[in-house]
Structure 1
């Protein structure tokens, strides 16, 4: 084995620097073909302290799947299983084929649900044991790059959304993400955000009883704030893995092709958030029943079936402490 040194190219990207640990993304050339290992040293004479195995991420002739969803790391002993199931099931209807779930800290009921989805080959769980107090927002920038490069050889697109967010096509004849990206060669699609406020839900409303039972806020809320955030502020995206190099939370930093700034009449990021404001004035809120109209009936049926499967899975595979899966 012999060593080849290569300087770091001018382009690099780093996370916020106000923490003990930061995420750095370096790019360097390889003058003698595909390397086996990589390391970062200050001088060419310095002995590397760690060697990282280089994984090839060439664009394949055909992909295993079209859409893979990358979820920011779970943290703070996350335990909201209803939100997790709603998020997975609605995204499956939208076109997701696999979910990469990064787990820093989750409750037993969440691990039980994730294990069930993992056994169905829908979820891949990535353990993420980083010091959350010493890095910006659970290392989300590093997590996004990790998810991108894990999926470059396997998935044509990755989708970046949080657990309370959904990228919703709004045209009646466009039901899935596949429909939306059809006939486009763009490297990424950035979607504007709007908030549906959970505190505006009226428990006495005539909403679907099963939607209430399973806490499906995407069906319980049909009015959003009038504000639609500009691209780059709270926006999320679908990115073509072969054309993007670096990702940020709300947009794509670098792409070898056009980036589409999607208009709100085509598709939007629906964001279901609880702001703890009981005095919200909804007089000027905008009614949008796209999710209810296009996915509501199927979503309720799928969620009901999934919760039955979760209970059966819990009885066979999960610890007694996970009995309360909700």
Structure 2
């Protein structure tokens, strides 16, 4: 073979080898496109883009889906079910290989519906090889037509023993154009100082200033905003008492969001705090949440639900010196929690509601003030160890200032809290010059 022919042959071999390498790389990195591949009955998969997805031909809704490794790897679909219009429901679940199957379900309506017709429920899929599924939908039929169907991506497919966050706060719904900016900023900055890395907020609606603040915190990475357009699907109640407040679902779906948040962060966060935004779970015996939980968990290793007492700080009673009546915050809407240091006393014959710090991997169902189903024990944390600072309208409005207890715990954080709140308000474009 002459020299030129040898060079041509070598060049062709190099080109062929290059094409083989490129082809192998492409195959290795290729993932199936679920929006264009046919199913066993030729419908297409499209992932649900909203946090609330109607179940076709029913009054019910899907919210999110998870593998529950504690229950033999079954699929749990957190849903909103019309209790008065129950019907057979089926799971259609699909794998990476595009193999789709239909399974029967077990619908578990949570017990604390407070009389409302729609309530959070677990739709449990009963089938084989569920742990290999990647998408699921709830259907009223055993087979699907050729139309597009919105599937939920299945989360928590892999168990993790290391967590992105140590502490996540799950805040139930924002609604009614709520615009309590200053208290929101102070609460989030307090939680950051206490050791929280993530605050999850389910947002139906809020005021324009609060929206700017939340966008600032979202950019910063501390806040995760979950759109919650419950009012586009149901007539949500603004309260918890069906006879008094009416509506389709309790408190804008508060119980749905709390349960959803636990599962959403089951393998992302070591602990989850379940409370409202005007409530701050504050350690009193320890400097912060990490030291609190390190000691509580060591003393109570089998506990997965820690109940924290709620204590009211009336927003109608102001600290007399005006020390924190700062002119910088004069134009900021909302409550200044640092001005309210007077705490209502306990009433022996009245139930003192609690909120919770939970190990999410030990909770199956939760209500607002306690867990409904959990895999471990429950512990009521003593008042002197940790309590909730809850600045709101008084429950014992007849009491004078002298009859209230002085509780300045929030002032312990003054040195860092005040400038951090200012910085957040500046970053949101809300801190205006004062004269």
Q: TM-score, normalised by structure 2?
A: 0.64
The higher-RCO structure (CA 8 Å, 6+ apart) is 1
| SS in structure 2 at match of 1:92 | helix
Match for residue 320 of structure 1? none
Q: Which runs of 5+ in 2 are unaligned?
A: 1-98, 237-246
Q: Describe the shift of the 1:217–1:229 C-alpha distance in structure 2 as closer, same or farther (beyond 3 A).
A: farther
2:291 aligned with 1:194: no
Spell out the pairing of 1:72-221 with structure 2 (5 A cutoff): 72-131=172-231, 132=236, 133-171=247-285, 174-183=286-295, 184=297, 185=301, 186-202=303-319, 204-210=320-326, 213=329, 217-221=336-340
Equivalent in the alignment of 1:255: 374
Give me the whole-angstrom Cα distance separating, in 2, the residues matched to 1:307 and 1:163. 17
Deviation for aligned residue 1:33: 3.6
| Cα distance in structure 2, aligned partners of 1:244 and 1:86 | 29
Question: Does residue 65 in structure 1 map to residue 165 in structure 2?
Answer: yes
Does residue 3 of the first structure (1) align with residue 101 of the second (2)?
yes
* Counterpart residue number, 2:44: none
**C-alpha RMSD of matched pairs (Å):** 3.0
1:134-192 Cα distance to aligned partner (Å, 9 max, x none): 32101001101111121112111111121211111111xx1111111104133121101
Instruction: Give SS of 1:3's match.
Output: strand
The C-alpha deviation readout for 1:228-256, integer Å capped at 9, x for no partner, is 68998531111112211212111122222
Tell me if the contact between 1:193 and 1:229 (Cα under 8 Å) persists in the aligned partners.
Answer: no
- Please tell me whether Structure 1 or Structure 2 has the larger radius of gyration of its CA atoms: 2
Q: Quick one: distance in 2 between partners of 1:196 and 1:112?
A: 27
Among 309, 316, 319, the alignment partner of 2:427 is 309
TM superposition shift of 1:51: 4.1
Q: Deviations over 1:202-234 (max 9, x none)?
A: 5x5242343993776432222211116899853
Residues 105 and 126, structure 2, Cα contact 8 Å, conserved in 1: yes
Shift of the 278–62 alpha-carbon distance from structure 1 to 2, 3 Å rule, reads: closer
Pairing 1:36–2:134 present? yes
In 1, Cα distance between the equivalents of 2:274 and 2:281? Answer: 9
Distance 1:94 1:26 in 2: 36
Return the structure number with greater strand share. Answer: 2
Correspondence for 2:123: 26
Q: Do 1:67 and 1:95's aligned partners in 2 also have CA atoms closer than 8 Å?
A: yes
SS at match of 2:400: coil
Number of residues of Structure 1 aligned to a counterpart in Structure 2: 309
Counterpart pick for 1:295 among 406, 413, 416? 413
Kept after mapping to 1: 8 A contact 2:105/2:123:
no
Cα offset for 1:60? 0.8
Q: Is the 8 A contact 1:12 1:27 kept in 2?
A: no
Consecutive unaligned residues in structure 1, runs of 5 or more? 316-322
**Cα shift at 1:299:** 1.1
- Worse-matched range after superposition: 82-91 or 278-287: 278-287
SS at structure 1 position matched to 2:230: coil
Distance in 2 between the 1:275 and 1:217 partners? 15
